Structure 1
Amino acid sequence: MAPPEAEVEWQTSEIINCLFEDEPSVGFRCSPVTLDASLETDGNAESDDHFDPVVIADKLRTVADALNDDFAFKAALADLKKAAAQEAAEAAFSSGVEALCRNQVSQRAEVSPEMQLIRASAAFGLYVVKSSPELKERVKSAMNAFLGRRVHSWLIKEGGWDKVNIED
């Protein structure tokens, strides 16, 4: 019988915790969890009926160390770093624009919520770039993603950017 879903989630969490410990050490550390006899485990012969996240984490660490020199791995890591940085920039940009939109000064009943988002994103983006010019490309990308998510369909419905009155 396979372990229940909650048990597998717990085991996964334990393995990840062990994997990212500052000083890895092999050894049996966790409370025993009985596994189905038909499952192959990573424990030694006398502890086959026990779950040991340290042993599994150490094996994963060994595999990961072997991949560190692989070109495809390095390329994927660079892509991940770029995506993570971009996602953080987009999230920060979104939060800044949302904060501006919540500000009573920027809200006027006669201005649509989409136009408020456009105005706030432009104001926030320009302010960030003026104060931190090195972020220009990230801000441009984050603003583009934000507007694409938040006002793209509204702009289409309105007939495009040229049909929207920015100054109202």
Structure 2
Amino acid sequence: MAPNARLIEWQTSQIIQYLFEDNDISLRQLDAGLEVDGPQGSDDEHFDPVIIGEKLRSVADSFIEDVRFKAAVKDLKQAAAQEAIEVAFSHGVEAIIQSQVCEKAEVALEVQLIKASVAFGLYVWKSSPDLKNKVQSAMNAFLNRRVGPWVTQQGGWDRVSV
């Protein structure tokens, strides 16, 4: 049975929380032996935000040198000052998708959106730590809105190949 949208939103927030951890203690270490505080479903037992987050981190570096990426980061930082970060985040990811790095027809658009949003969000956070909470929120909203239904169709985050 496919997971519901609420479960996918919760899984997305767990992945983003892991990606934005400040320290070296992983969520897996923190969650060992603890009950999970979130929606449960039959497909949830295979979900591991650490594994998915590490896969996403490994592809994020390929975007950093792209000119459109750097321009999008600059625009996002300016938008943060004007409290328009969610819109700027979406525009930044869309600009990155149009770059040469993502022009691979064999890769689903949704996978490209996931990779670009993670690379973009993590880079902005590392270069402007004061924007951490705003970037996390914008990334969460973007992923839930743009790829959440697709992730649900795939059977959940643990079945998405990034």
Q: TM-score, normalised by structure 1?
A: 0.47
CA radius of gyration, larger in = 1
State the structure with bigger RCO (CA 8 A, min sep 6), 1 or 2: 2
What TM-score comes out, normalization by structure 2 length? 0.49
